[in-house]
Structure 1
Amino acid sequence: MGSKNVKIKDIFIDHHKYLGKSENSLKIYDLPPKNMILSPFNLIIDTIDRLLMVNFENDPIYFRVELQIFHKIGKDYPLVILYRKDSLLDLYYTNEVVIENRKKMLTDLFVNISFNQLDSIEYKFQFDDMGLDAYLFLKDKLEKEIEFKIKENTPGRRLDSILSPIGVVNKKPEYFPIVFLNKFGMVIKKNTEIFVKIHGFLRDPVDMPVQMDGAHVYQAHYSFKPIIGNWNNNFTGNINPVILNPPISYISDGNLTYDLIKNTDYYEIKQITGNDDRGQTISIEFSPAIPNLLFIKSKSIIKGRFSCVIDDIQGIFAGEYSLTRTGDTIEFNIQPIKGWQPFPGKLWLKTYNWTSKIQIYDVDDIKIDSYWRRIKI
């Protein structure tokens, strides 16, 4: 019996079918409407120019190496992450520009991490009609050599897009991590030149247990257009309404853009969108739209769905939301439930749950306590 074949085109959710066409009833409102909305959402995007990850086996210290390339101030700079069997991550770079805005994100995601600046890192990271052409050489903090080379030889090599799974690396997440790999490829085994050398010893790249689009591949992948987003960073404090002046259905506030719909005289949030400095976007669409939290009446219960769109690709992942209002307090919950991962077992994103408690004493006095947690499934 041959190995299972996974088709990339089959990993996305039917965005429109999943969301349906739900609408909020006017019966959930009892306060007079005003031209304003209240948003508990935030979305921050961190752009990496290129990304390559290779898994290997039989090394006593490391099991994975990752190469990231950042285009900063007119130049390319490398960041190398060595994944260790003792759960420590070692980061190597030649210029702090690649980590100056990412240290907190990295320490949030990974508990045990070391930062190491080197004088030089040799690398090559290109793509042509035959596929990936990559090389890496550096000396780790033990002053020993880390090296790999990958040269695909597949005429007409085609790239895809995929949401990267996130392992259980932090039981108290600061946000929901969105790592979307556009222009993505798994390293094909056939005709590929590949070696991984750690401390002078050749290590075997790990095989993928399934075929991808009919090809045998390694547990090594790359992306020439990755998009990394932090959705709903944990926050406790005061929030202010977004004033709609003039009242319009498309408005930007901070790092988010809102697509609004008007339910009679109540503005509701149909979609939120964040973008990076390259014009790439991450959007979350809701069905029904998130009601106007300022004006829903006590004892209201609203349940709905959401689906993620990145650039023009719909159905990256999806889930459910629910909210209830009791007096001045709104309880808001988000639960991702649908997505895809290339390995068997529990779906990683289902272990994330977002809870928000919003207390609305007045439009000028609104407090929120929101956080993500990992749950057992």
Structure 2
Amino acid sequence: MNHPQNIYLEEESILYLPFQFEIDPMQRLLLVNFEKDPDGEYIGLEPQYFDDEANGRGLLVIAWRKDMRIEVYHEAGLRPDPDKYDIAGNGLAAMHQVDFDKSEFEISGTGVLAEIEFRDKSNRKIKIHIEEKHPKKREPFGLLAPMGDAASNPSAMPLVLLHDFYFVRRKHTQLEVSIDGRKHQADKLPLPLDGTWMYFARYSPDPFIVTFNPATSEVLKPVRLDNRHLTWDYNGKAKEIKSLIAEGDGHQVSLSFDPAFPQFNMIKPGLEVKGSFVIAGEKSTGIIKGIYTVSTKREGVQILLHPDGGWIPNEKKISLRLLYAMAGIFRNWPKTYLWTATLQQEENHWVMISSWERLKK
């Protein structure tokens, strides 16, 4: 589906792409919450393991604080970028390189095996011990993690697509979290899943971490029309974008439009053009739906993206559908995000300034 041709100027122009996906490789992750039995400072611990050229190789642990800022503890073999952590909660408080006394973190068919020990900024010993030995086969699934719900001033929309995702089962599991010698009770899932009671501790051996449309102030580069990751079509002399695909870590994520996204630099002044968009990863991780608006004035163009349809899971399990219904955070957090881009033509190029904001729930 295309827009009416009469919205466009007659003069043909170069195509620009105002949208971007950035992929951050990660091998596996685990998140253990103890909000109901908190430490004086921390309410959750999130081990992550990396092995790639961008980040290096090794273990990293995010310590979630009560004020929803994060402390990042990492091995010397890692090169984490501090800028990417502003999309987590209320942002990065500090980053610390530490020596882990124990750094075992594996995920297998039986579940999680984690033996992690290190000292935090206050020289307190932090210990995570999880050993799952449940005889029943796991029944993992995919989802979009609601990480973006915690961000107060995001510079991008975080799309944490988790494959082979599951919760830690309570039975046949040793689980201990201690800080400075004091043990903390891990939070529990309020209803059984697959006939088994679970901790709220959850993990994925196959995460696909994507940031959508990082805030920017940049000169847009012309699009190569033979780009295999971009599909477009002529609408008269205008070129409208149907979809954009990004690939990495063995997965892909796509952004598609209906009607196709208009060529913003050819729209007549004084018009407002609307449509819908869908962000989709693998089938198991569901989709995000939203609307777009393109407004033109003589001084420039404004683009709005609002994921007002939220996350729509693709899940047949009744227990999971009930969980998503009870915990609206899973489906509703994208609805609070709004992306605004202002584009102006300067001489023979276009400059885009973009940002994200959180809307009131």
TM interval, short-chain normalised: 0.7 to 0.9
Is 1:271 the equivalent of 2:271? no
Letter in 1 for 2:12: P
Is 1:339 the equivalent of 2:311? yes
Pairwise mapping of residues 126-141 of structure 1 onto structure 2 (< 5 A)? 126-141=106-121
CA deviation after TM superposition for structure 1 residue 46, in Å:
0.6
Identity of aligned residues (%): 27
Is 1:367 the equivalent of 2:351? yes
CA deviation after TM superposition for structure 1 residue 237, in Å:
3.7
Structure 1: tracts of 5 or more residues without a match: 1-21
Q: In the alignment, which residue of structure 1 is the partner of 2:317?
A: none
Q: In the alignment, which residue of structure 1 is the partner of 2:337?
A: 352
CA contact (8 A) 1:54 1:205 kept: yes
What do the CA deviations read for 1:270-327 (whole angstroms, capped 9, x no partner)?
1112233x34322111111101122222233221111112245574312111112233
What do the CA deviations read for 1:45-88 (whole angstroms, capped 9, x no partner)?
11111100101242333211110000146984000111222444
CA deviation after TM superposition for structure 1 residue 195, in Å:
1.9
1:103 to 75, 79, 82: 82
Q: In the alignment, which residue of structure 2 is the partner of 1:147?
A: 127
CA contact (8 A) 1:177 1:231 kept: yes
Cα–Cα, structure 1 residues 139 and 262, in superposed 2: closer, same or farther, change >3 Å? same
Higher relative contact order (CA 8 A, sep 6+): 1
CA deviation after TM superposition for structure 1 residue 199, in Å:
1.7
Q: In the alignment, which residue of structure 2 is the partner of 1:68?
A: 48
TM-score (norm: length of structure 1): 0.82
Quick one: distance in 2 between partners of 1:172 and 1:194?
A: 34
CA deviation after TM superposition for structure 1 residue 207, in Å:
0.9
Cα–Cα, structure 1 residues 313 and 266, in superposed 2: closer, same or farther, change >3 Å? farther
Is 1:125 the equivalent of 2:125? no
Q: In the alignment, which residue of structure 2 is the partner of 1:199?
A: 180
Q: In the alignment, which residue of structure 2 is the partner of 1:261?
A: 233
Aligned length: 342
Letter in 2 for 1:289: A
What do the CA deviations read for 1:61-116 (whole angstroms, capped 9, x no partner)?
321111000014698400011122244422211215241xx211114544351222
CA contact (8 A) 1:43 1:231 kept: yes
Letter in 1 for 2:265: L
Greater alpha carbon shift after TM alignment, 197-206 vs 69-78:
69-78
Is 1:83 the equivalent of 2:64? yes
Q: In the alignment, which residue of structure 2 is the partner of 1:93?
A: 74
CA contact (8 A) 2:16 2:221 kept: yes
Aligned-partner SS, 2:270: coil
Cα–Cα, structure 1 residues 324 and 213, in superposed 2: closer, same or farther, change >3 Å? farther
TM-score (norm: length of structure 2): 0.85
2:260 to 269, 285, 289: 289
CA contact (8 A) 1:31 1:296 kept: no
CA deviation after TM superposition for structure 1 residue 149, in Å:
2.0
Quick one: distance in 1 between partners of 2:149 and 2:284?
A: 26
Letter in 2 for 1:43: F
1:235 to 216, 225, 231: 216
Letter in 2 for 1:354: W
Letter in 1 for 2:27: D
Letter in 1 for 2:131: K
CA contact (8 A) 1:129 1:155 kept: no
Q: In the alignment, which residue of structure 2 is the partner of 1:25?
A: 4
Quick one: distance in 1 between partners of 2:99 and 2:79?
A: 14
What do the CA deviations read for 1:21-43 (whole angstroms, capped 9, x no partner)?
x4322222232335x31211122
Letter in 1 for 2:301: I
Quick one: distance in 1 between partners of 2:10 and 2:255?
A: 27
Letter in 2 for 1:357: T
Cα–Cα, structure 1 residues 94 and 31, in superposed 2: closer, same or farther, change >3 Å? same
CA deviation after TM superposition for structure 1 residue 215, in Å:
3.5
Quick one: distance in 1 between partners of 2:285 and 2:241?
A: 18
Letter in 2 for 1:30: L
Cα–Cα, structure 1 residues 86 and 375, in superposed 2: closer, same or farther, change >3 Å? closer
Pairwise mapping of residues 210-221 of structure 1 onto structure 2 (< 5 A)? 210-221=191-202
Q: CA RMSD in A?
A: 2.6
Quick one: distance in 2 between partners of 1:167 and 1:354?
A: 14
Quick one: distance in 2 between partners of 1:168 and 1:314?
A: 17
CA deviation after TM superposition for structure 1 residue 206, in Å:
0.5
CA contact (8 A) 1:131 1:155 kept: no
Cα–Cα, structure 1 residues 142 and 309, in superposed 2: closer, same or farther, change >3 Å? same
Quick one: distance in 2 between partners of 1:319 and 1:92?
A: 36
Quick one: distance in 1 between partners of 2:163 and 2:285?
A: 13
Quick one: distance in 1 between partners of 2:91 and 2:56?
A: 30
Aligned-partner SS, 2:22: strand
Structure 2: tracts of 5 or more residues without a match: 313-323
CA contact (8 A) 1:77 1:98 kept: no
Q: In the alignment, which residue of structure 1 is the partner of 2:290?
A: 319
